Structure 1
């Protein structure tokens, strides 16, 4: 949707996070022998991505390698094969998928940091259908005891591995902009309590955490910046201001350019109400507000699918954007002191949602003119879309 100034205080920004991922499959670790021989301690007052490489975990590697076998064009297949070596975050988006953590740890060498997305709040993604989760509103105790607590136990049992955690995409931003939606009203207390519980209990020496902060087209509007900073800082403080929180994650599973100028939607009639026309401006604008609110303000930015811009008709279009390409590979060389790293948060190739309008979890954004059609259910591999991401990658593989 194109956000109008008259509705800024109650934006209906749809979910842009990656939807549930495929069920757990067995994978064999490749680098177990290179694991650290002593406990890892991460200093969250520093940029840990300067000393640790984001790990190319085995589950995405497995998907990519299977996809390469299905590509008939030798040149495209060769480029696609290189995607398997790109570090990316592993989405722990269900209780079942906690089982992916142990084999991913076994695959992670001492030089790397394993990225995990913590993503299973009750009433998840209250403003969208495609990525609704398994836990219902009111099941906060289940979230704590059956989801967060087992993850904490696993991370404590593996002190020799470094972890970067991206905390609950879309949750707190939805409370800022979708407070008028009944589903978000009902989810609000669970989101706030759940995020605080996760931050408090995952505050471990070998962990660094980033709280999801949407993107410049969401919380970057003039009327949303301060409320957004206050909402995130409130959760951070409710958790006891955990020292392993480094700051925020932006553009998660998103499409926004890092530093395109003028911005992709700078010519829109309502652009004057949003100066955050790219993610660099958004981070640089949002960070001081976070700091003033008493929260760490460094960031990681998802560049996994933002290689091509000018594809969306409106800023809020989030589902399987047609013509998209893989973006800049993960790196700590961002050119901005506030941005620790460009990362790949979204598993490129996994669908954002189905284009089948008869499906239970169909979201109208997945049937828009600028969405790739046909697309399967959220989290399901879309071979044609993956091949397009490779073909359109900037920089190319």
Structure 2
């Protein structure tokens, strides 16, 4: 198996982090809290030349993924770790990724224990019971709305909308929870897809309280472009109070193509913060774990076969 840390992607990304620290007015988003990916420690040992860069990455909040792809025991430990580590006055950052038949198009992430709405409700209850009334920011179901917005997309037949309503209702029962539904970014580029996103978000708003959407998850688009797309969404939605979060984990360099898989020129973007200095962007976040592989890629990207860390 090929480790992403052994490829040019990680070297470029980690090196770019040092550049970003000198280029940005960095503000630690101390109100955001998460736990470190367990694979980082092994990566520092295996690749000592990148240890300093990885340690720098570890100083910032990297969203914690609560997914049915983890065993029940691992999920329990993860929730115990994050609720223990994060102080009461911080806001935990958790990605919820367990909708039944997730990734219904590519089928690369469909494995997991959640097979039905009943399973999903139990999965969500694990999370909400552990979090209680604590302050938390939820990124809700990456890819789901994108697969609903595609013409002829599989999200509709997979029942994503009804299950997203289940998630929104369960997660927003905590008055201290901030919910941002992931919509990709490409869904906001064209009017037809954007209209579907607006319809979905309107329906989800009836199930519970939403703060906004996350865009650019695991992708490379610039903050400027994301702010413009967010404005388009807000205009169509008619709710300027519904803002956006941008995943900056790999968008330091302006993308030259629409490729999404282990792009060689990628670099780690602005560190997580609520001080974005862009009115309609509530946070910059690292939702994708910096340095994490996308798996096996095609021509034009580095070929890797395993998520390294």
| Cα RMSD after superposing both structures | 2.4
**2:35 paired with 1:58:** yes
CA distance in structure 2 between the aligned counterparts of 1:224 and 1:246, rounded to whole angstroms: 21
CA distance in structure 2 between the aligned counterparts of 1:133 and 1:257, rounded to whole angstroms: 32
CA distance in structure 2 between the aligned counterparts of 1:82 and 1:302, rounded to whole angstroms: 18
- Number of corresponding residues: 278
Quote the offset at 1:128 in angstroms: 1.3
Q: 1:105 aligns with which of 72, 83, 86?
A: 83
Secondary structure of 1:218's partner?
Answer: helix
- When residues 208 and 347 of structure 1 are mapped into structure 2, their CA distance, relative to the original with a 3 A threshold, is same
Contact 2:93 2:137 in 1 (8 A): yes
Tell me the residue number matched to 2:288.
346
Secondary structure of 2:101's partner?
Answer: coil
CA distance in structure 2 between the aligned counterparts of 1:172 and 1:79, rounded to whole angstroms: 34
Tell me the residue number matched to 1:154.
130
Q: TM-score, normalised by structure 1?
A: 0.65
CA distance in structure 1 between the aligned counterparts of 2:147 and 2:214, rounded to whole angstroms: 15
Q: 1:332 aligns with which of 274, 294, 307?
A: 274
Q: What whole-Å deviation, never above 9, does each CA across 1:163-183 have from its counterpart, x for those lacking one?
A: 100011110221111x424x4
Q: What whole-Å deviation, never above 9, does each CA across 1:281-325 have from its counterpart, x for those lacking one?
A: 101111122235xx951111110111123343xx2x322222311
CA distance in structure 1 between the aligned counterparts of 2:284 and 2:218, rounded to whole angstroms: 13
Q: 1:301 aligns with which of 226, 240, 246?
A: 246
Q: 1:82 aligns with which of 56, 59, 69?
A: 56
Q: 2:175 aligns with which of 182, 205, 215?
A: 205
Contact 2:102 2:144 in 1 (8 A): yes
Q: TM-score, normalised by structure 2?
A: 0.82
Quote the offset at 1:352 in angstroms: 2.0
Quote the offset at 1:89 in angstroms: 0.7
CA distance in structure 2 between the aligned counterparts of 1:136 and 1:120, rounded to whole angstroms: 6
Q: What whole-Å deviation, never above 9, does each CA across 1:45-75 have from its counterpart, x for those lacking one?
A: xxxx9985222x3332x432332222243xx
CA distance in structure 2 between the aligned counterparts of 1:130 and 1:372, rounded to whole angstroms: 18
Tell me the residue number matched to 1:173.
146
Contact 1:54 1:115 in 2 (8 A): yes
CA distance in structure 2 between the aligned counterparts of 1:234 and 1:112, rounded to whole angstroms: 30
Tell me the residue number matched to 1:395.
none
When Rg is computed on C-alpha atoms for both structures, the one with the higher figure is 1
Which stretches of structure 1, 4 residues or longer, exceed 3 Å deviation after superposition?
49-52
List aligned pairs for 1:92-241, cutoff 5 A: 92-94=66-68, 96=71, 97-99=74-76, 100-134=78-112, 139-145=116-122, 147-156=123-132, 159=133, 161-177=134-150, 179-181=151-153, 183-187=154-158, 189=159, 191-203=160-172, 204-215=174-185, 217-237=186-206, 239=207
Tell me the residue number matched to 1:290.
237
CA distance in structure 1 between the aligned counterparts of 2:62 and 2:200, rounded to whole angstroms: 27
- When residues 255 and 124 of structure 1 are mapped into structure 2, their CA distance, relative to the original with a 3 A threshold, is same
Tell me the residue number matched to 2:5.
none
- When residues 208 and 184 of structure 1 are mapped into structure 2, their CA distance, relative to the original with a 3 A threshold, is closer
Contact 2:36 2:58 in 1 (8 A): no
Greater length-normalized contact order (CA 8 Å, ≥ 6 residues apart): 2
Quote the offset at 1:136 in angstroms: 6.8
List aligned pairs for 1:373-392, cutoff 5 A: 373-376=303-306, 380-381=307-308
Q: What whole-Å deviation, never above 9, does each CA across 1:238-287 have from its counterpart, x for those lacking one?
A: x1xx23x211111111111111xxxxxxxxxxxxxxxxxx1111011111
- Unmatched tracts of structure 2, length 5 or more: 1-26
Quote the offset at 1:209 in angstroms: 0.8
Quote the offset at 1:185 in angstroms: 4.3
- Unmatched tracts of structure 1, length 5 or more: 1-48, 260-277, 356-365, 383-397
CA distance in structure 2 between the aligned counterparts of 1:77 and 1:58, rounded to whole angstroms: 18
- When residues 58 and 184 of structure 1 are mapped into structure 2, their CA distance, relative to the original with a 3 A threshold, is closer
